[in-house]
């Protein structure tokens, strides 16, 4: 199972990367959200990011997971229509902006990736 550093990777990018992995694996992908407490480990992803106290990282990690799940839920199950005769790929009425503005993150949606085969399962356990 891949680990994804939620405190140094934007939720938008995480949501589409994990959803894409789920498509490629035909619904058998999972992920392990993780944080980075060491000051130098997150720099390749967000070079200007400074280390934060553990309690702030855990709050951010929880918020990031919630945003990722909301992005996955921004597409209804039957949003993809693939109507060749009209040239429509998606039913816009079945895409939803998430407009998430939390304590540490602000993200608008919807995701650019359709709902993946297994959508999501909530196995997140914070500290």
Any long-range contacts for 55-58 (C-beta under 8 Å, 24+ apart)? 56/104, 57/7, 58/126, 58/127
Q: Name the pairing type of β-strands 88-90 and 80-83.
A: antiparallel
**DSSP run (H or E) holding 66:** helix 54-72
Residue ranges per structural domain of the chain: 3-107
Would you state the pLDDT for residue 33?
Answer: 81
- What value, to the nearest 5°, has the Cα angle with vertex 112 and ends 109 and 102? 25
Residues of the chain with pLDDT under 70: 1-2, 35-51, 119-127
Segment 85-105, tens digit of pLDDT: 999 999 999 999 999 898 888
For residue 39, what are the contacts with CB-CB under 8 A and spacing of at least 6? 50, 51
Both tokens assigned to 90 = 């998606």
Tokens 């693939």, residue? 82
Tokens 């951010």, residue? 60
Both tokens assigned to 24 = 């490629």
Would you state the pLDDT for residue 40?
Answer: 52
């Amino acid at each position: 199972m891949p680990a994804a550093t939620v405190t140094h990777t934007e939720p938008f990018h995480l949501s589409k990367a994990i959803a894409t992995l789920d498509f490629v694996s035909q619904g058998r992908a999972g992920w392990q959200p993780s944080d980075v407490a060491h000051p130098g480990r997150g720099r390749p992803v967000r070079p200007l990011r400074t280390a934060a106290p553990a309690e702030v990282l855990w709050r951010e990690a929880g918020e990031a997971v919630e945003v990722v799940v909301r992005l996955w839920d921004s597409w209804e199950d039957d949003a993809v229509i693939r109507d060749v005769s009209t040239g429509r790929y998606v039913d816009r009425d079945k895409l939803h902006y998430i407009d998430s503005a939390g304590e540490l993150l602000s993200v608008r949606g919807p995701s650019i990736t359709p709902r993946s085969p297994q959508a999501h399962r909530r196995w997140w356990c914070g500290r």
